[in-house]
Amino acid sequence: MSVQSDYVKWPARLSKRNAWWELGDNWETTVTFFTIYFQFITSSVVFTFGSTFRQPVFRNYLLMVSWLCIYVTMSLVLLLPHLSFTHLWQVDREEFNGPNATSPVLAAYQQDGGAPSAAMPPSFRRDLWILNVSNSVAVCLWQKVVVEGPVARMLRSRFPSSTPKFHL
């Protein structure tokens, strides 16, 4: 993110510490939100793949359709250009640090000598999306292959646990 030519580090020193709602109009918040959000919705599926005593989540069609709708919606919020739908999410595709900034922090930044900057470019948002989707795939593979799959079976056979014996 910091190697992007349009990136301006968030001037947190100019914010009022108790005005938390003024801290969201920046690249850092957008990257953090989408990274965490995609991990949350991926975890909702990964931890319910099923096992010996539980059916896999894929058999719960309502939940899978809901999950897919949420994943696609958040992908569109990240990837689409500025629209009234995406404006609801306050993603940094808008030019928050443009001339006559409405954010009190960015207005103070410009008055303090900081230059206006462009919004987060589509290429960076696309790269962020690819990174998050890749992370989702990697987490799913790790769960199925290492935690629940052949690696786990190999480790269980190689290092069996002993059952505790209770004496009355």
In the chain, the percentage of residues whose pLDDT exceeds 70 is 98
pLDDT of residue 10: 79
| ∠ CA 99-104-107, rounded to 5° | 30
Give the tens place of pLDDT for each residue, 14-37: 887 777 777 777 888 889 999 999
Residues 6+ apart with CB under 8 A from 107: 101
SS3 44: helix
The whole-angstrom separation of Cα 58 and Cα 85 is 30
> What average pLDDT does the segment 108-135 reach?
88
CA atoms lying within 13 Å on the CB side of residue 92: 28
pLDDT of residue 92: 67
Give the tens place of pLDDT for each residue, 41-68: 999 888 888 777 778 888 889 999 999 9
Of these ranges, 17-31, 45-59, 94-108, 124-138, the one predicted with the greatest mean pLDDT is 124-138
DSSP letters, 82-123, are S-HHHHTTT-TTS-TTSTT-SSHHHHHHHHTTPPP-PPPPHH
The whole-angstrom separation of Cα 109 and Cα 101 is 9
In the chain, the percentage of residues whose pLDDT exceeds 90 is 35
DSSP one-letter code for 51: B
pTM equals 0.81
